[in-house]
Amino acid sequence: MAKIDHKLEKWIRWLKVIEGELESLVIAKKVFWTVQGLIKAHPEIPYRQSIFYWYLGNTYIAYALTGIRRQAKFQKDSISLTQLLTEIVQEPTKVSRKYYLELHAKAKKANLVNKQFDRLCQKSGDLHISSDLVQRDLDKLKNPVKDCEDFADKLIAHRDQRPPKRLPKFNEADKAIQTLYDLCRKYRFILLADSKNTVKEKLDYDWQEIFDFPWRQK
């Protein structure tokens, strides 16, 4: 492949950073809910107002909301999914049909790749990705992350005198994480022609083995 545009090169670097952070959030979500399932599966453990359950829940939600805020909040000098998509909206010509065809040169026939790229364009045959399509993806982030970002801004990043409008629920944080990660994977395929599920790879071992052994000595 010929040398790529410096802006596109920067977006690819950013995407790898963003993906690593979002993978960590998805893994944290998986671990948290799996442990919750283990707790509920053992009714012999007295369920009461345990400081451990308080700690587990608060630690997860603080980590999750902080990570969501980092990716969703527009800050010009920061690396985030929102910033990445905003820049692609502003300069869609950097993601060209020529670049996309070169990415897929070894994997598929050119006519199939062209049809695939057409789905990313304003109209068939366009030479670059549609800024409207990327803007729609950017807009998809607004509702799932809005309350999470507001809460993280006002009670986690710092203590604001104005309370957040509402408290996000666990399932809303989970949805926001999944929305961010799914969009990241979409742009991983667009920019790198790679659709590997790296989270699955990282969890592909018996990480729950630790719960098979008693910890506390009586």
d(CA 115, CA 132): 18
The mean of the pLDDT values for the chain is 84
**Lowest-confidence segment of 41-45, 138-142, 212-216 by average pLDDT:** 41-45
Is the model's pLDDT at 131 over the cut of 90? yes
Q: How far is CA 217 from CA 44, 152, 214, in A?
A: 18, 39, 8
Other C-beta atoms lying within 10 Å of the C-beta of residue 69: 20
Residue type, 168: P
d(CA 180, CA 138): 10
Largest CA distance in the chain: 72
Which pLDDT value is given to residue 58? 81
DSSP state of 161: S
Which pLDDT value is given to residue 200? 79
Query: Bigger pLDDT: 200 or 90?
Result: 90
Mean pLDDT for the stretch of residues 42-48:
73
d(CA 108, CA 95): 19
Query: Bigger pLDDT: 196 or 18?
Result: 18
Report domain extents, the chain.
6-211
Is the model's pLDDT at 117 over the cut of 70? yes
pLDDT confidence band for 40 (50 / 70 / 90): confident
pLDDT confidence band for 42 (50 / 70 / 90): confident
Q: What are the start-end ranges of the H helices in 73-125?
A: 81-90, 97-103, 110-118
**Lowest-confidence segment of 26-30, 172-176, 186-190 by average pLDDT:** 172-176
- In sequence order, the 6+-apart residues with CB closer than 8 A to the CB of 206 are none
CB 169 within 8 A of CB 147: no
CB 84 within 8 A of CB 76: no
Mean pLDDT for the stretch of residues 46-58:
79
pLDDT confidence band for 48 (50 / 70 / 90): low
